[in-house]
Structure 1
Amino acid sequence: MSRRTLLRGFGTAGTLAALAGCGVPAAYVEPGDRAAADDRSERDRSLQFANWPLYIDTDDENESRRPTLDSFTGRTGISVRYTEEINDNDEFFGKISPALMNRQETGRDLIVISDWMAARFVRLGWVQEMDRAKQPNVAKYLDPQLRTPAFDEGRLHSVPWQSGITGIAYNRRKLGHEIRSTSQLWADDLRGKVTLFSGLDESFALLMQGNGADVTRWTADDFHTMCEQVGKLVKRKHIRRFTGNDYIKDLASGDVLACQAYSGDVIQLKADNPDIEFVVPEEGAELWAESLMIPNLARHKRNAEKLVDHYYDPEVAAELAAWVNYVCPVPAARDILASAKDEETAALAEDPLIFPDDAMRERLAIARDITAEERVGFAKKWNAIVGL
Structure 2
Amino acid sequence: MADLARRALLRGVGGIGAAGALAALTGCGVRPAYVTAADRTGPDRSARDRSVDFANWPLYIDVDDHDKQRRPTLDAFRRRTGISVTYNEEINDNDEFFGKISPALMNHQRTGRDLIVISDWMCARFVRLGWVQEMDRAAQPHVAKNLDPLLRTPHFDPGRKHSVPWQSGITGIAYNRRKLGREIRHTSDLWKDDLRGRVTLLAGLDEAFALLMQGDGVDITRWTADDFHRMIDRVRAQVHKGQIRRFTGNDYIKDLDSGDVLAAQAYSGDVIQLQADNPDIEFVVPEEGAELWAESLMIPNLADHKRNAERLIDYYYEPEVAADLAAWVNYVCPVPAARDVLASSKDKDRAALAEDPLVFPDDAMRRRLAIARDISPRERTAYAKEWDAIVGL
Q: Normalising by structure 2, report the TM-score.
A: 0.97
TM-superposition CA deviations, 1:294-323 (whole Å, max 9, x none)? 000110111100000000000000000000
Instruction: Identify the residue that residue 138 of structure 2 maps to in structure 1.
Output: 133
Cα offset, 1:355, TM superposition: 0.5
Would you say the 8 A contact 1:129–1:156 is kept in 2?
yes
Q: Distance in 2 between matches of 1:355 and 1:283?
A: 20
One-letter code aligned to 1:31: A
Instruction: Identify the residue that residue 306 of structure 1 maps to in structure 2.
Output: 311
**1:260 has 2:283 as partner:** no
Instruction: Identify the residue that residue 3 of structure 2 maps to in structure 1.
Output: none
Instruction: Find the residue that maps to 2:354 and give its secondary structure.
Output: helix
1:348-387 paired onto structure 2 within 5 Å: 348-387=353-392
1:191-206 paired onto structure 2 within 5 Å: 191-206=196-211
Task: Give 1:179's match in structure 2, choosing from 172, 179, 184.
Answer: 184
**1:286 has 2:281 as partner:** no
Q: Distance in 2 between matches of 1:386 and 1:152?
A: 30
Distance 1:292 1:22, change over 3 A: farther
Cα offset, 1:338, TM superposition: 0.3
TM-superposition CA deviations, 1:142-180 (whole Å, max 9, x none)? 001100001000000000000000000000111111111
**1:190 has 2:210 as partner:** no
Identity across the alignment (%): 77
Instruction: Find the residue that maps to 2:221 and give its secondary structure.
Output: coil
Cα offset, 1:19, TM superposition: 4.8
Would you say the 8 A contact 1:4–1:202 is kept in 2?
no
Cα offset, 1:8, TM superposition: 5.4
Instruction: Find the residue that maps to 1:350 and give its secondary structure.
Output: coil
Q: Distance in 2 between matches of 1:143 and 1:18?
A: 36
Would you say the 8 A contact 1:137–1:312 is kept in 2?
yes
Instruction: Identify the residue that residue 60 of structure 1 maps to in structure 2.
Output: 65
One-letter code aligned to 1:179: I
TM-superposition CA deviations, 1:190-232 (whole Å, max 9, x none)? 0000000000000000000001111010000000011011111
Task: Give 2:41's match in structure 1, choosing from 35, 44, 55.
Answer: 35
Instruction: Find the residue that maps to 2:54 and give its secondary structure.
Output: strand
Q: Distance in 1 between matches of 2:100 and 2:165?
A: 22
Q: Distance in 2 between matches of 1:370 and 1:248?
A: 27
Instruction: Find the residue that maps to 2:59 and give its secondary structure.
Output: coil
Instruction: Find the residue that maps to 2:220 and give its secondary structure.
Output: coil
Instruction: Identify the residue that residue 168 of structure 2 maps to in structure 1.
Output: 163
Q: Distance in 1 between matches of 2:260 and 2:14?
A: 25
What RMSD, in angstroms, separates the aligned Cα atoms of the two structures? Answer: 1.2
Distance 1:330 1:352, change over 3 A: same
Cα offset, 1:25, TM superposition: 3.0
Instruction: Find the residue that maps to 1:81 and give its secondary structure.
Output: strand
Instruction: Identify the residue that residue 16 of structure 1 maps to in structure 2.
Output: 22
Distance 1:375 1:18, change over 3 A: farther
Cα offset, 1:9, TM superposition: 2.9
**1:51 has 2:56 as partner:** yes
Cα offset, 1:344, TM superposition: 1.2
Cα offset, 1:15, TM superposition: 3.9
One-letter code aligned to 2:114: D
Q: Distance in 2 between matches of 1:198 and 1:165?
A: 16
Mark the runs of 5 or more structure 1 residues left unpaired by the alignment.
none
Mark the runs of 5 or more structure 2 residues left unpaired by the alignment.
1-5
One-letter code aligned to 1:35: T
TM-superposition CA deviations, 1:237-289 (whole Å, max 9, x none)? 11000000111001001110000000001000001100000000011000001
Q: Normalising by structure 1, report the TM-score.
A: 0.98
Task: Give 1:329's match in structure 2, choosing from 329, 334, 338.
Answer: 334
Would you say the 8 A contact 2:19–2:377 is kept in 1?
no
Instruction: Identify the residue that residue 122 of structure 2 maps to in structure 1.
Output: 117
Would you say the 8 A contact 1:5–1:245 is kept in 2?
no
Would you say the 8 A contact 1:50–1:85 is kept in 2?
yes
1:244-255 paired onto structure 2 within 5 Å: 244-255=249-260
One-letter code aligned to 1:102: N
Instruction: Identify the residue that residue 236 of structure 1 maps to in structure 2.
Output: 241
Cα offset, 1:17, TM superposition: 5.3
Q: Distance in 1 between matches of 2:12 and 2:286?
A: 23
Would you say the 8 A contact 2:175–2:256 is kept in 1?
yes
Cα offset, 1:11, TM superposition: 3.0
